[in-house]
Structure 1
Amino acid sequence: MFGLLGLPPAVELHGDMTQAARLESLEAFRANTAAFLLATDVAARGLDIQGVQVVVNYDAPRKLETYLHRIGRTARAGASGLSVTFVEDGDRALLKEVVRKTKIEMGQRIVPPAAVTQWQNSVERAGPDVFRVIQDERMERELRKAEMEATKMQNMIEHEDEIKARPAKTWFQSERQKKEAQKK
């Protein structure tokens, strides 16, 4: 989407990605080959990337702790940064709590309706191209999955004797102990 709108490259980070893809995204962001890192809260947890100057919250979280964790991505090792949060009327309570409980300086900006309309129109015009990109990504994911399954099957065929020679799995509980534990 970023490329289609003429913005610098972006990478993503979320739980549906393979570990290799996550590491690839992080490395692209660290190396500045991607200007933006789009991350879910869970995926971003614990990230410590030097040089992060701005965090944009597309939506305001419901809890103060989550909000502080998000914006803290910019304030590593005493550094300062900027946090931008898109706020709807229903989100104002959180921001009031942030102001009340912290010493974070906050400003308010109202995005002119004309600017919102302009970006909406740009996104809508990019719609067909976005759909093609999504289809291509879905196809790539399916291909990777099929390749992994093929590799797994190939390994099972090549190492069949070793697999069959492994001792049967043993459980720490006998069948009777399992049944007794289930009754409790």
Structure 2
Amino acid sequence: MNTPTPSLADALANADLLHERGTLDTVIADMGRRIDAALDGERAVFLTVMNGALIFAGQLALAIRTDLEFDYVHATRYRGSTSGSELHWLREPAVSLVDRVVLLVDDILDEGHTLKAVRDDCYQRGARRVLIASLCTKRHDRLAEGIASDFNGVELPDRYVFGFGMDYHEQGRNLPGIYALRDN
């Protein structure tokens, strides 16, 4: 028997708005300036981790003035649920990463297992340097060893978050802010 999908309206009624759109716009613009400085004119591969990073990546790309080559990967551990499981690769990069700088763009650095696997794969494909840009990072002590964001937008509490690309049971990715479910 299939369990009904929880309602986004119910989730919003039981959530706190952590960061609204204006704040996120300012943070992303600042990240773009810092990435420009780090790239120092070098054309990087802008590699978006789908689906969650789609909204953030589009805005971040517009905030970066350095020329970029675009590609994406799709790797997930969540598959529509709220907790992770085995890594599933749905799409690998099509662009050659050999001797390139890769700007790996993801929506959230939570425990980091998926992002670490994607980063390590970039190096296995010959990337010279991989820089990680995440819209947000959760504050907790469960981060996978050896992974961190080079550019992070905002920090979040250790709660279930959604909006601005992040989903609540595959809903709410297009919300213009970041929300966190309240602890019950």
| TM-score of the superposed pair, with normalisation by structure 2 | 0.29
Computing the radius of gyration from Cα coordinates, the structure with the larger value is: 1
| TM-score of the superposed pair, with normalisation by structure 1 | 0.29
| Higher RCO (CA 8 Å, separation ≥ 6 residues) | 2
Which is richer in helix?
A: 1
